[in-house]
Chain A
Amino acid sequence: EDQVTQSPEALRLQEGESSSLNCSYTVSGLRGLFWYRQDPGKGPEFLFTLYSAGEEKEKERLKATLTKKESFLHITAPKPEDSATYLCAVQPLYNFNKFYFGSGTKLNVKP
């Protein structure tokens, strides 16, 4: 069964304390893995797409990496404005009409 699991559910960091969020997936072939950020009361905002193992993407303090079974979102020296819920999603390779989101990691960065 296709599945996306994110951990931890919630993460509290001090400003400047780097950490990583995990997204593990089980699909029969991966077409793409996607990271989104969601602020309270808003729709998700696209961050990255990763297509193959070994691929990395960066944006400001965020860096996403991909292996054959999981993806990590590394946050370097986070700031309070990085506080949000981070969602990952996968699209299976052999069924283009399917798209699965994880339940998210809620990040709180304290000043």
Chain B
Amino acid sequence: DVKVTQSSRYLVKRTGEKVFLECVQDMDHENMFWYRQDPGLGLRLIYFSYDVKMKEKGDIPEGYSVSREKKERFSLILESASTNQTSMYLCASTSGGFDEQYFGPGTRLTVT
């Protein structure tokens, strides 16, 4: 079974803090993705990566950055957390493009 794990289920941070969300997959997938999910807005793509040290902007990259130093690990970084970044963050991975994405359980981030 493909397994995608995220470092925390719940996280509370203060405005202005630098926040790291970690995602690890164990199936040697090439592609990894970060989404945020908000009520009424669905999932929105923040960043994705097709390969190690490679990244592509999604639809809402502002205020975020990513790091992929190893194939199995994809990190989302909030450089200076703001209250409008309070959300559920979901990581996913695939072996081919956007097809058949395997999602982690999500991290619910609250910024106060």
Q: Which residues of A contact B (CB under 8 A)?
A: 4, 32, 34, 36, 41-46, 49, 87, 89, 91, 96-104
Contacts and interface: CB of A to CB of B under 8 A. Distances in A.
B45 A49 contact: no
Contacts, number: 53
A43 B44 contact: no
B42 A104 contact: yes
B76 to A, nearest CB: 15
Given A101-B43, A102-B42, A96 B101 contact: no
B4 A43 contact: yes
Given A43-B92, A91-B98, A100-B59, 4 more contacts: A32-B98, A34-B99, A42-B105, A44-B101
B21 interface: no
A86 to B, nearest CB: 12
Nearest to B4: A43
The 7 A-B pairs of least Cβ separation, nearest first, read A43-B103, A103-B42, A101-B43, A101-B42, A46-B100, A99-B98, A44-B103
